[in-house]
Structure 1
Amino acid sequence: MARDRDDEPLDRELAELPPELRWREWMRRIEAVLFASAAPVGREDLARVVGPQAPVDLLIEDLAAELEGRAFELARVGAGWVLRTRTAYASAIRAAQARRDAPPELRMDDAAVLAAIAYHQPITRDELGEIFGRDISRELIGRLHDRGFIGTGPRAPRRGAPYTYVTTEAFLLAFDLVSLQDLPDVEALRDAGFADPGMMGQGGA
């Protein structure tokens, strides 16, 4: 019985190919991995599909340059890369999906707590309550967790060792950030009225 090609080990070296074709095949492999992934893919994972001496960063640069003028782009998110549609085509995508069920927008309470987590992480639920002057419900935290925007961080170094919360790569991706260093300046947010704990209101959390 013939062996399934999917069971064969991946030829990373591609020694039989001339350098130019080898380089292009490595680029295509990286493109395929990014295309198939809904989450950012890190350098170590991309390195598994190319030769051990292949410069992943240069391959990514060449792939990004090749995608210039296309409707989608290669973008850095956190410690990895993704393929995503360019913002110029966001309205076209929304128009095409108008009849589909869109994910619910963040409630104002949720957005305010998410912002606090982003700026103060790792942070406990009690510490969030201190920021907003009232208890932050587990239901609210659960909504943010279910959307994939937050995850659990290290235990707080105090009695009871409560869980802390941190943002995720999904948060960076959703808000078009490369890293947390790209978060808007707090003063700018405050001037715009988005950093005021009073935004939380008195109910719904």
Structure 2
Amino acid sequence: MAETARITRGRGQPGDGRPDGHLFDRELAHLPPEARWREWMNRVEAAIFAASEPVGRETLARVVGENCSVDLLIDDIREELRGRPYDLVAVAGGWKHLTRPAYADVIRSAFGTGAAGSGRARDLTQSDVLVLNAIAYFQPITRGELSSFFGKEVSRDLIGHLRGAGLIAFGPRSPTPGAPYTYVTTKEFLLEFGLDTLRDLPDFEALEDAGLLSEEKLLAGDIPVGLADEEAG
């Protein structure tokens, strides 16, 4: 009876208190194993569904048992979503509900947007994409280094456009003379292009071997001319 009463009040962990003074029951020890696993699956999916940004493992761990594997829960949820027009996708260091690529045209027709991300990529010019590619693969990189790479000046306006779209940000200052800023990609970049981490970028050498990317193709891009001096701040 004492154990039953304690479970009724909740078996939360330190810091799991709710505003009403009750503890949040993470462990669900009073449920049979199958029902407990099902409830943990429901909690994880509910938390991801309610969030506007990808939800990380640490956040999801707050709503399930201490020794519960979030990854196995995600696997089981994704298995149940087979055949549905949406999925749980690992992106930008967490998980997010995203519609499947096959339904991109449906979403675009209905709302004028794509199946993933915020649609920032649709506003990019060919020049933007070429420079963004270089930053993604060679970050942290300065504007001067980008200009040297392409053999023509990369403009401040182009860099400003990518920063304004939230796809790149300032990185550490370069140790070269003048200590110019470097540029790096952002979490929004990962989200926009459906990547979990930068390790998910296609292998540069593999793209070259497949003939899909080459220095010649990059250098053929129409890169706008900008000011010659480096940004100092």
Same fold, judged at TM 0.5 (above)? yes
Deviations 1:144-192 (A, max 9, x none): 122222223333233443322222232233223343344344413336x
Q: Is the radius of gyration larger for structure 1 or structure 2?
A: 2
Q: RCO greater where, 1 or 2, for CA within 8 Å and sep 6 or more?
A: 1
Between the aligned partners of 1:111 and 1:169, the Cα distance in structure 2 is 17
When normalised by structure 2's length, the TM-score is 0.73
- CA gap of 1:156–1:70, structure 2 versus 1, over 3 A, is same
Find the residue that maps to 2:220 and give its secondary structure.
helix
* 8 A contact 2:163–2:169 mirrored in 1: yes
- CA gap of 1:41–1:155, structure 2 versus 1, over 3 A, is farther
Q: Where do residues 22-171 of structure 1 align in structure 2 (5 Å cutoff)?
A: 22-98=36-112, 104-171=122-189
- CA gap of 1:130–1:203, structure 2 versus 1, over 3 A, is closer
Residue 21 of structure 1: aligned partner? 35
How far does residue 122 in structure 1 lie from its aligned partner after superposition?
A: 1.3
Between the aligned partners of 2:129 and 2:216, the Cα distance in structure 1 is 9
Which segments of 5 or more consecutive residues in structure 2 lack a partner in the other structure?
A: 1-16, 114-118, 228-233
The more displaced of 129-138 and 178-187 is 178-187
Between the aligned partners of 1:93 and 1:158, the Cα distance in structure 2 is 47
CA-based RMSD of the aligned residues comes to: 2.8
- CA gap of 1:202–1:53, structure 2 versus 1, over 3 A, is closer
Find the residue that maps to 1:158 and give its secondary structure.
coil
Residue 212 of structure 2: aligned partner? 189
When normalised by structure 1's length, the TM-score is 0.82
How far does residue 6 in structure 1 lie from its aligned partner after superposition?
A: 6.2
Which segments of 5 or more consecutive residues in structure 1 lack a partner in the other structure?
A: none
How far does residue 10 in structure 1 lie from its aligned partner after superposition?
A: 3.0
Between the aligned partners of 2:127 and 2:81, the Cα distance in structure 1 is 39
Residue 179 of structure 1: aligned partner? 197
- CA gap of 1:26–1:160, structure 2 versus 1, over 3 A, is farther
How many residues matched? 198
